[in-house]
Every structure is written in C-alpha cells, then in structure tokens.
C-alpha cells in the first residue's frame, strides 16, 4: 500500500463523514431559524461552526501523514496526570470562562440544594409572607406545593450532596474537576480490563477523553453530568472485575448514580450491560444485580414523596402532578414543542461538535464491531437506548455544552471508538500520528474557540446578576419575558438572607405587594432598566421591546407605590 493510497483512504474515512455531518448541520440551520428555541440557536451560533472547523482541521491533519510504528504505552499515572490537568483547567475555567456563575436553572438548583445540605437540613424552611407567595421567588424545578412550608429542588439529592461536601472542604466548584480525575482513572481501568494485553488501547481512550470539550466544559459547571460519567465508568470498571466484592461495590456506586439528579440516566447505561449476564447464563450475578437495583429503585422512588411531606405545610393537601415520577414523566412528554425531530438532530450535532475530532470516524468502526462483540454491543445499546428514550420524553435539552443527556455515556462512545481502533490493521501506524495531530489541534485551536463561545454565553447573564446583587434595594423585580431566560436571574439563597431578594414580576400580585410594603421603614424595590438586560438581548440577537417592558414595570410599580413602597431603577 503506497503512502498516497493510505492518505487517500484516511481522508475518506476520517474526513468525509464528519464533512457530511457538518453539511447537514448547515442545511438544518437554514431550514430552522435560530429563534425557534435554544437548541436551534446553539446550532446556528456555535455547533455548525465547530463542526466546520473540525472538518477543516481533520483535512489538514491527514495531509502528508507519516507513520508511527511504535505503539502508545502508559500506566495509571498517565490517567492521573491527564485527569489532573483537565481538572485544573476546569476549576480555573469555572471562574475565568464561566464567570463563576450558575446560568441555567439546573446549575442553580444544584447550588441551592448544596447550601441547604451544608446547613445539615434536607429542606430550607420558608416563613412569613413567603409561605403564600413562594412562586414570586422562582420555584421552577422545585417540589410543587399547595401551601409552602419549605423549599428544595425536585431533583434527587446526591449531586448537590457532593457539592456540599466539596464546599465544606474548600470550594463546591471542585466537584466537577474531581470527577474529571475519577473519570480518567476509571476509563483507564476499563480499557485495561477489556484489553489486558494491549496497553495502547488505554492510551487511545485517554486521548479521546482529553480531547472532549463536552467533558471539560461541563466540569466547569454545577451540572450532575460530570459525576454521571465518572460513576458510570467506575461502575463498569467494577463490573468487569467479575468478583462478588466488586459487584457489591458496583451496586453501591449504582445507588449513588441513580440518586444524583434524574433516576433514569444511570439505569439506561447499566441495563444493556447487565443483559450480558442473561446471555452468559450467569444467574447468580444477574439475581444479585436485579435485587440490588430493585432496592435502589424503590428507595429513590420513595424519596420525592418524603421530601413533599417536608415542604408541604398542609398535611391534608392532595398530592398534585409532578411529585411522583410517573406524573412528572407524563407532564414532560405532554410538553412537546413540535420540534422533536429537529431538536434531537441538533442534539446529536451538538454532541459531536464538542467531542474529540477523531471520535466520530473511530466510532463508526466501533459500531461495526458491536455487531459481533457482546460488550461492544452492550455499550452501543446504552447509547441507542438513551437516545431513543430521550427522543420520546425530552428531546429539548436546553442549556449545556454538547448533548448533556448523553454525557454519562461518553465512556461508551470512547470505548466503542477504541474497539474500532483495534480493527485498523496495517493502517494503524498512520492513525497513531493522526490521533496525536487531532488531539493537539483540539487542545490548541478548538478548545480556545469553545472557551470563547462558552464565555460569550455566560458573561452577559453573570454581569446582569452582578448588577442586581450590587443594588442597595430590598427587592429587585425581574420580568420573566424581558430577555431570553431572564427568569433565571431570579436566584435567591435558601434562607433568603441576602439582599436584594429577587422576584418574578408576573408573580408580584396585590396581596404580595401589600405584604411587602407593610413594614417600616418602607422597603426599596428596584426594577431593571434597559441597560441591564441589553447584553443578553444583544447576544441572542433579540430586538428589545422597551415599551412593553416599561408598561409591565409601571403597572407593578404603581401597585407598590400605592402601598407605600419606595421604587427605583437599576440603569
């Protein structure tokens, strides 16, 4: 095989299919406007350009590709070093790139719950006027109540518990970086278990991990996803050991993984792998895992009902929709927006736009292996199961880097890609050089571009929140429709012990106005001027309807002044 033929073949395999992906992304962006929802906005503003840049870099990396005959080799120390490097960048990036800010409601709820748990409480009590007006404080994604005695998010608690722990020992923002280290070491352990005689496989896996922008940038946030990935990989590492002690440890990890955030994420990863036990007729291990996960599922199904008892003041009140998981699932499925297919396609584009440049080409080889290899098939099954289920119940992911709902399965993608790597045969020496080139290109060129995109999105919200926090007012009223996601600026600490208290404008009714203004001295209530939200509107390319904002603010301001509150504007 000549060098020219090798380069031509590599170009076809490594570049053509990512190029098709980028081309379709541009077509979808042309068919669907950027203002349809956040998924399509990200496709327009970030992902199609990242895919295009990725194709260009792949083409350049393939050009005049030499060969490397010596295989890669490394140990657990390499995994620890890569994990530590990524963790250091992620921790710094939380403050330097994401402005130390929790932008999405998911991030805010993780921080909120962590603050509650750090005080030794399961829920934060609400008293006074807020028992009857909690909705004005922003209770999105919190347990629904009839009469509120306390508040806590409706998510499962263990992601927040991790953040509370790291907050007590240093900084809650260390949680994601710590999970990067655990994930890297666990990935190395999985690869060594799957390919015990081939040290190169583990190094390839680590390089694909290192080159994932989704792994790195989500670790800068308060999302549960970095912990999902780390625990899934740790679970798989234990499962592959095939000892009773390791299986019991895997069940302990599974208990934590199910209780991180949403209960369905880890089971969709684990179920196809556990199915292997039935294919192998390993009835003892199958029974152990069945009984273990039945107990785990029962406990976490009980949890939201237990929390509802703590947050609901009226013990005789009927439980409404959204408290148990069945009603939540029903509500979620019914809230489709008519863009189900477009959203899911955009999610897939976003996933690959934030991965290592070589993941998709190698993954295609891996899927071919999955037809014959049971473990590879189980890893692929987890991907297909999760994608299908999320397409049905929640194709719109909202915020996040890459496709968050597949984050816990990035290890599956990487290990499948390594399965593909093992089939490359005599072209492998060229692929080694290509892997090194694309890893370097990702770190040097793609990561800074992604960092700029991430900062550009977070910074306007962080600046607006900082201006609100600097106000001398007792309350700040925020219009939920004045700018994209402006409702997420209504963030309050669990104890409401910081001023100003932030309120949703649409929930400030006459009864709340009377309760707010009936104290002495008269409280000062601030409204947002046009300049506070202007950077957010500019980023989203939204034309500001200043007249509508002024009219809505004036209606509430009049109500407050009539009850002797003082008012001002944050310009």
The tokens 């119940």 sit on which residue?
393
Whether 118 maps to a domain, the answer reads yes
Q: Which residues have C-beta within 8 Å of that of residue 370, sequence separation ≥ 6?
A: 376, 377, 379, 380, 416, 419
Count other Cβ atoms within 10 Å, centred on residue 475.
22
Whether 433 maps to a domain, the answer reads no
Examine the domain organization and report whether 63 and 80 are in the same domain: no
What is the count of structural domains for the chain? 3
Examine the domain organization and report whether 453 and 479 are in the same domain: no
Examine the domain organization and report whether 60 and 81 are in the same domain: no
Q: Which residues have C-beta within 8 Å of that of residue 440, sequence separation ≥ 6?
A: none
Whether 363 maps to a domain, the answer reads yes
Whether 196 maps to a domain, the answer reads yes
Examine the domain organization and report whether 212 and 251 are in the same domain: yes
The CA distance from 431 to 7, in Å, is: 10
Q: Which of these, 57, 66, 68, lies nearest to 18 by C-alpha position?
A: 57
| Phi/psi of residue 504, nearest 5 degrees | -80, 125
Domain boundary among 457, 479, 513: 457
First and final CA of the chain: distance in angstroms? 69
Whether 370 maps to a domain, the answer reads yes
Domain boundary among 416, 435, 457: 457
Examine the domain organization and report whether 255 and 356 are in the same domain: yes
Examine the domain organization and report whether 277 and 387 are in the same domain: yes
What Rg do the C-alpha atoms of the chain give, in angstroms?
A: 25
The CA distance from 385 to 112, in Å, is: 31
Token pair listed for 86:
């990524």
The pLDDT value recorded for residue 4 is 45
Length of the chain: 571
Whether 434 maps to a domain, the answer reads no
The pLDDT value recorded for residue 394 is 87
CA angle 478, 479, 481 (to 5 degrees): 140
Examine the domain organization and report whether 522 and 449 are in the same domain: no
Count other Cβ atoms within 10 Å, centred on residue 30.
10
Domain containing residue 63: 3-70+445-457
Question: Which DSSP string corresponds to 379-430?
Answer: HHHHHHHHHHHHHHH-----SSSS-GGGGGGHHHHHHHHHHHHTT-GGGHHH
Examine the domain organization and report whether 65 and 125 are in the same domain: no
How crowded is the C-beta side of 72, counted as CA atoms within 13 Å? 23
The pLDDT value recorded for residue 13 is 79
Examine the domain organization and report whether 450 and 488 are in the same domain: no
3-state SS class at 100: coil
Run means of pLDDT, 10 residues per run, the chain, 571 residues? 54 85 92 86 95 96 88 93 98 98 96 96 92 92 86 95 96 98 98 96 98 98 97 98 97 98 95 97 97 97 91 72 68 70 94 97 95 96 96 90 96 98 92 96 97 97 96 94 94 94 95 90 92 93 83 93 93 84
Whether 165 maps to a domain, the answer reads yes
Tell me whether residue 383 is exposed, middle or buried, using C-beta atoms within 10 angstroms of its C-beta: 0 to 12, 13 to 18, 19 or more: buried
Q: Which residues have C-beta within 8 Å of that of residue 437, sequence separation ≥ 6?
A: 61, 65
Neighbour order of strands in the sheet with 501-504: 501-504, 475-478, 524-528, 566-570
Examine the domain organization and report whether 106 and 217 are in the same domain: yes
The tokens 């979808």 sit on which residue?
28
Whether 431 maps to a domain, the answer reads no
Domain boundary among 433, 457, 481: 457
Examine the domain organization and report whether 57 and 192 are in the same domain: no
Examine the domain organization and report whether 389 and 492 are in the same domain: no
């Amino acid at each position: 095989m000549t060098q020219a033929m090798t380069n031509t073949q590599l170009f076809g395999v490594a570049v053509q299919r990512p190029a098709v992906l980028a081309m379709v992304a541009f077509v979808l962006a042309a068919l669907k406007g950027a203002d349809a929802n956040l998924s399509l906005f990200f496709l327009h503003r970030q992902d199609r350009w990242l895919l295009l840049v990725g194709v260009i870099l792949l083409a350049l990396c393939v050009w005049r590709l030499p060969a490397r005959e010596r295989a890669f080799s490394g140990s657990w120390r390499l995994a620890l070093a890569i994990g530590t490097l990524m963790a250091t960048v992620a921790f710094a990036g939380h403050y330097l790139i994401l402005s130390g800010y929790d932008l999405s409601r998911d991030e805010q709820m993780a921080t909120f719950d962590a603050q509650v748990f750090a005080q030794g409480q399961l829920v934060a009590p609400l008293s006074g006027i807020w028992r009857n007006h909690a909705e004005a404080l922003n209770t999105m994604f919190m347990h629904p109540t009839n009469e509120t005695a306390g508040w806590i998010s409706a998510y499962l608690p263990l992601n927040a518990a991790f953040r509370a722990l790291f907050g007590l020992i240093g900084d809650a923002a260390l949680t994601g970086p710590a999970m990067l280290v655990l994930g890297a070491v666990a990935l190395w352990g999985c690869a060594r278990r799957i390919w015990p005689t081939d040290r190169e496989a583990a190094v390839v896996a680590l390089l694909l991990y290192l080159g994932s922008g989704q792994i790195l940038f989500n670790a800068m946030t308060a999302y549960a996803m970095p912990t999902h990935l780390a625990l899934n990989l740790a679970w798989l590492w234990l499962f592959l050991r095939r000892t009773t002690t390791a299986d019991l440890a895997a069940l302990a990890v599974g208990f934590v993984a199910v209780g991180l955030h949403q209960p369905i994420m880890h089971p969709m990863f684990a179920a196809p792998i556990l199915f292997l036990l039935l294919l192998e007729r390993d009835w003892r291990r199958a029974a152990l895992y069945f009984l273990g996960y039945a107990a785990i599922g029962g406990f976490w199904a009980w949890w939201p009902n237990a929390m509802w008892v703590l947050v609901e003041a009226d013990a005789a009140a009927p439980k409404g929709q959204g408290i148990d998981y069945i009603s939540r699932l029903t509500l979620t499925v019914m809230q489709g927006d008519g863009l189900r297919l477009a959203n899911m396609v955009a999610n897939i584009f976003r996933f690959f736009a934030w991965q290592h440049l070589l993941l998709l080409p190698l993954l295609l080889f891996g899927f071919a292996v999955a037809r014959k290899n049971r473990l590879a098939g189980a890893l692929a099954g987890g991907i297909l199961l999760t994608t299908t289920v999320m397409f049905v119940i929640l194709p719109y992911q909202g915020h996040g880097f890459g496709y968050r709902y597949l984050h816990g399965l990035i290890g599956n993608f990487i290990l499948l890609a390594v399965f593909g790597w093992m089939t490359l045969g005599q072209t492998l020496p060229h692929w080694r050089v290509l892997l090194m080139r694309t890893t370097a290109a990702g770190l040097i060129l793609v990561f800074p571009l992604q960092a700029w995109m991430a900062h550009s999105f977070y910074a306007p919200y962080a600046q607006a929140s900082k201006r609100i926090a600097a106000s001398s007012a007792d309350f700040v009223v925020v219009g939920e429709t004045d700018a994209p996601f402006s409702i997420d600026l209504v963030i309050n600490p669990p104890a409401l012990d910081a001023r100003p208290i932030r309120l949703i404008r649409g929930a400030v009714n006459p009864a709340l106005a009377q309760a707010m203004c009936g104290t002495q001295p008269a409280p000062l209530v601030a409204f947002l001027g046009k300049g506070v939200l202007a950077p957010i509107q500019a980023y989203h390319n939204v034309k500001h309807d200043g007249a509508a904002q002024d009219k809505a603010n004036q209606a509430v301001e009049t109500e407050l002044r009539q009850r002797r509150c003082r008012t001002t504007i944050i310009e």
